[in-house]
Structure 1
Amino acid sequence: MTPPDLAQRLAVRERPPGRPVMKQRWSRLLFLHWRVDPDLLRPLLPPGLHLDLHEGAAWLGVVPFRMERVRPVLLPAVPGLSWFLELNVRIYCHDDHGRPGVWFLSLDCNQPVAVELARNLFLLPYQHARMRYGGELAATRYHCMRHGEEAEAVYEYGPAPSAEVRNAEPGSLEFFLLERYLLFSQGRGGKLYSGQVNHTPYPWVPADCGKWSTLPVKWDGLPEPQGAPESALWVDHVDVHIFPLRRLE
């Protein structure tokens, strides 16, 4: 299967037709990535999706962040429901048409209502978790313990001091890892769906990450990556429009 070319990678950044169904803000994002053997990840994808590689390498990501102002379009945010935490484990793929996107292995979340809605409306593998967040901008402390697990994943991170905010250069590793606007999910009978998000390109800086964890990878049944992440990026926030799922043809 031919991998996406640069034009296809840029095309998914365009706002899709129709109206979004949700609005939200993603903030204090930490993108941690490890290079992984492609043969380890290929079996995780359903038929119809293909592992996406950067210069022949596959990448596994762990991304903790805050969800803010989450609400349906035309409705206001609700205190207690619209602000919560999420941590996802992800790999990168493309469909038969060469459209690049994300395949989530798991999404830990501390908002039970959000977990059930996302499972049913977006067919995503959300997991109930106990999570805590604190600290200042330069020293965020983030804790996650999935229900049924005994150990806690802990992250301490912030933007690298004096780092210049930038957008990812098309074709770069940062572009490959960050600029993902499609999610893929699977419903009953193995049917595949895609959902598109739309936001401005991520304004990123290198992350100053004093503590990280690969426990969420272990919780998903994979061997934990060894050593420090090869890529650690920090994003302050983006405002996001969420569009409805579409059946893959």
Structure 2
Amino acid sequence: MIDRLAPSKRPVGMNAGTQRWESLLFCHWEIDAERLRPHVPETLDLDTFDGRAFVGIVPFKMRNIRPSWLPRRFAFNFLETNVRTYVTHNDRPGVYFFSLDASSRLAVIAARIGWSLPYFFAQMSAHGSGDEHRYRSARRGGAAEHRVSFRVAEHLGPSVPESLEHFLFERYLLFVEKRGRVFCGQVHHDPYDVWTAEVTEFADQLITAAGLPKLGERPTLAHYSPGVDVEVFSIRE
């Protein structure tokens, strides 16, 4: 039995760092689990909602990032876009990242060394006015590009447990495989305050660059959140 609420509880002890995630756009496509299974490590199980598997792209702003030992005045900012799916390990639900693009070389190096996450450096931009937003990203050397424009639409509020929205958004664990061993990182934050979003422009090469099959020209589901303050806890086997 998967307990989807337990990971949202704050771990005991001091965090490893803090950050704020802002202006998140959650784009999702439904994908047949059999098509997705070969792209996820065998040590992890696919997590599905009523038998439905999903792949997501999430562009957002990383703000006020700092490890716990760094004074606040040295915190830094960057943009990020991740390609993800949902998995379980020992019945614990979390996220598996196919790729993460970031506009900070320091963040890319630190995350690859410290967390073994597949980060890539990219030139990225974000613009917003009122309810209209757009993100642009291009990996160095033109390896993969991504652009999306969207409009914030209907306010949904925090996701209700056992709903599809709760399944997609309220993820507090990440899993990464290193040399056949599974490691888990945890974050803690308040539930997302969520709106639906209307995607007005979309072009993506990140999904196929990660080796995944080509999905629809536009996401079938799109949601927006203004952001959350996040505590990050150390990754552990």
Q: For the superposition of Structure 1 and Structure 2, which TM-score range results when normalised by the shorter chain?
A: over 0.9
**Do structure 1's residue 11 and structure 2's residue 6 form an aligned pair?**
yes
- Partners of 2:211 and 2:142 in 1: how far apart? 13
- Tell whether the 8 Å contact from 1:144 to 1:153 is kept in structure 2 after alignment: yes
In structure 1, what is the equivalent of residue 92 of structure 2? 99
Map 1:157-172 onto structure 2 (within 5 A). 157-160=150-153, 163-172=154-163
**Do structure 1's residue 225 and structure 2's residue 220 form an aligned pair?**
no
Q: Shift in Å at residue 70 of structure 1?
A: 0.3
- Tell whether the 8 Å contact from 1:165 to 1:203 is kept in structure 2 after alignment: yes
In structure 2, what is the equivalent of residue 246 of structure 1? 236
Q: How big is the alpha-carbon RMSD for the aligned residues of Structure 1 and Structure 2?
A: 1.6
Which of the pair is proportionally richer in strand? Answer: 2
Match of 1:64 among 59, 66, 91: 59
Q: Shift in Å at residue 246 of structure 1?
A: 1.1
**Do structure 1's residue 52 and structure 2's residue 71 form an aligned pair?**
no
Per-residue CA deviation, residues 159-212 of structure 1 (Å, 9 max, x unaligned), is: 21xx3340111111101100100000122x222100000000111010122112
Map 1:1-249 onto structure 2 (within 5 A). 4-5=1-2, 8-77=3-72, 82-95=76-89, 97-149=90-142, 152-160=145-153, 163-187=154-178, 189-247=179-237
Where do 5+ consecutive residues of structure 1 fail to align? none
Q: TM-score, normalised by structure 2?
A: 0.95
Overall identity of the aligned pairs, in %: 40
Q: Tell me the amino acid that sits aligned with residue 206 of structure 1.
A: T
- Partners of 1:127 and 1:121 in 2: how far apart? 14
- Tell whether the 8 Å contact from 1:101 to 1:181 is kept in structure 2 after alignment: yes
Q: Shift in Å at residue 78 of structure 1?
A: 5.2
Change (3 A) 1:224 1:204: same
